[in-house]
């Protein structure tokens, strides 16, 4: 298998680093996410990921997220839209976690939540707070946020957040198991096909929702 979206920058809190090094399930979770983000190629059928850099903000970002999620759901059996109990039952507000999986090994379970940021910087702050709440309440054992790095985001939809923009606040997650991943294109080329914006050109599919999960 070939992987070509680059993982350019990673920040792990001390606890996350320790877990990913020494805990088999957390290591597996991290590797599944890395493999899924790296699996994107562009244009379709290529064997590397090349972004059109003819103009600022020219490409869409949703298809990147979609590729990553398809692999997480279909290859690795992650689920979409996992509500946190604290938000759903206690606070009665706030949306679910984007992607979620429970890793099991005998009696050990590790619950990992992931958000792939395609909104603006403020919305990235909200995702971070939501995941921190899940960690504080011990509904999650590890949290991950995926974002394009600045160099790539420059050619994606206007105001899409980037790794460097949220970076000053990563340390607010110290004391919790949190990983921030910044991905980048493999190559830049002004003649390559532009990534469509929104859901244009994406095949329809049913996402694998947590709520439909059969135990």
27 binds its own copies (CB under 8 A): no
β-bridge mates for residue 181, sequence order: 10, 146
Using the rule CB under 8 A, give the single segment among 16-24, 68-76, 110-118, 132-140 that binds its own copies.
132-140
Residue 21 makes contact with its own copies by CB under 8 A? no
110 burial (CB, 10 Å; 0-12 / 13-18 / 19+) is: buried
DSSP labels, 143-209: EEEEEE-HHHHTTBSTT---HHHHGGGGGGGTTS-EEEEEEE-SEE-TTSPPPPSTTTTPPP----B
Residue 117 annotated among the catalytic residues of the structure: yes
Q: ω before 203 within 30° of 0 (cis)?
A: no
168 is a contact residue toward its own copies (CB under 8 A): yes
Among 86, 187, 194, 202, binds its own copies (CB under 8 A): 86
Q: How far is the CB of 166 from its own copies (least distance, A)?
A: 9
Would you count residue 94 as binding its own copies (CB under 8 A)?
Answer: yes
Contacting positions for its own copies (CB under 8 A): 86-87, 91, 93-94, 119-123, 125-126, 128-130, 132-133, 136, 164-165, 167-169, 171-172, 174
Q: Give the catalytic positions in this structure.
A: 117
């Amino acid at each position: 298998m070939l992987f070509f979206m680059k993982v350019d920058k990673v920040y792990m809190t001390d606890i996350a680093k320790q877990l990913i090094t020494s805990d088999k399930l957390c290591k597996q979770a991290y590797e599944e996410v890395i493999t899924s983000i790296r699996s994107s190629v562009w244009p379709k059928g290529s064997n590397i990921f090349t972004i059109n850099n003819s103009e600022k903000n020219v490409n869409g970002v949703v298809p990147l997220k979609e590729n990553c999620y398809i692999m997480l759901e279909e290859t690795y059996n992650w689920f979409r839209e996992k509500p946190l109990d604290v938000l759903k039952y206690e606070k009665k507000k706030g949306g679910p976690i984007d992607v979620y999986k429970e890793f099991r090994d005998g009696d050990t379970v590790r619950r990992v939540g992931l958000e792939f940021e395609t909104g603006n910087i403020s919305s990235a702050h909200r995702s971070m707070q939501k995941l921190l709440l899940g960690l504080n309440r011990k509904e999650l054992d590890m949290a991950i946020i995926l974002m394009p790095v600045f160099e790539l985001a420059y050619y994606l939809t206007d105001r899409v957040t980037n790794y460097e923009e949220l970076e000053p606040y990563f340390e607010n997650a110290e004391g919790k198991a949190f990983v921030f991943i910044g991905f980048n294109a493999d190559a830049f080329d002004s003649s390559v096909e532009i990534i469509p914006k929104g859901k244009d050109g994406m095949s329809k599919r049913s996402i694998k929702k947590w709520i439909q999960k059969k135990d």
